[in-house]
Amino acid sequence: MPIVGAPLAGGPSTPALAAAVSEAGGLGFLAAGYKTVAEVERNFAELRSLTDKPIGLNLFYPVSGDVDEVAIEAYVDRMEIEGERYGVTPGEPCWTDDGWAAKLELACRARPEVVSFTFGCPCREIVEWVRGCGSRVWCTVTSAAEAARAD
């Protein structure tokens, strides 16, 4: 049965863990989410130094939809009240694309066997570009509609 090591964005997944999964016959994944491009580049180089087996790189697809400003303000107000309890001040809400373009370019330069996307599926042109760089493309899906779009 095929085993895929989850990317686990934000730090729990390490190059050593991804290498161990790949060395054991699975597909180890390096998470790019919540990391700078420089961190991902260092992590990827470390991963490649630990294994020559197939590996994957996971990117967050930037999704920016309509925002309910009233709901966000209410949430910020609740967080400020909660923060006062613990003597901390929450930061300002903001949207980021998590270094999308630079991480996508890194993925094409680094050429992992698989580049996967979470939180959305890229357009056909991006999929073909990544494939042209030598990587297979996977998308995380959470509904039948997302699966149909990813097909």
> In 9-151, where do the E strands start and end?
28-31, 55-60, 114-118, 136-139
Would you state the pLDDT for residue 48? 97
The string of pLDDT tens digits covering residues 54-74 is 999 999 999 877 888 899 889
Whether the predicted pLDDT of 53 surpasses 70: yes
Percent of the chain with pLDDT over 90: 66
Q: 109, 134 in Cβ contact below 8 A?
A: no
* Whether this model's pTM surpasses 0.75: yes
* Tokens matching residue 10: 């934000």
Q: Which of 75, 105, 111 is nearest to 90 (CA)?
A: 75
Confidence category of residue 139, pLDDT binned at 50, 70, 90:
very high
Would you state the pLDDT for residue 92? 81
Taking residues 28-53, what's their average pLDDT? 96
**Residue limits of CATH 3.20.20.70 in the chain:** 1-62+100-151
d(CA 38, CA 40): 5
Taking residues 100-115, what's their average pLDDT? 97
* Mean confidence (pLDDT) of the chain: 92
Confidence category of residue 1, pLDDT binned at 50, 70, 90:
low
Best CATH choice for the domain 1-62+100-151 from the list 1.10.730.10, 3.40.50.1820, 3.40.30.10, 3.20.20.70: 3.20.20.70
Q: How far is CA 56 from the centre of its chain?
A: 11
Would you state the pLDDT for residue 64? 75
Taking residues 2-28, what's their average pLDDT? 92
Whether the predicted pLDDT of 29 surpasses 70: yes
Burial 100-113 (b: 16+ CB within 10 A, else e): eebbbebbbebebe
d(CA 124, CA 54): 24
Q: 57, 18 in Cβ contact below 8 A?
A: no
Whether the predicted pLDDT of 32 surpasses 80: yes
Whether the predicted pLDDT of 20 surpasses 80: yes
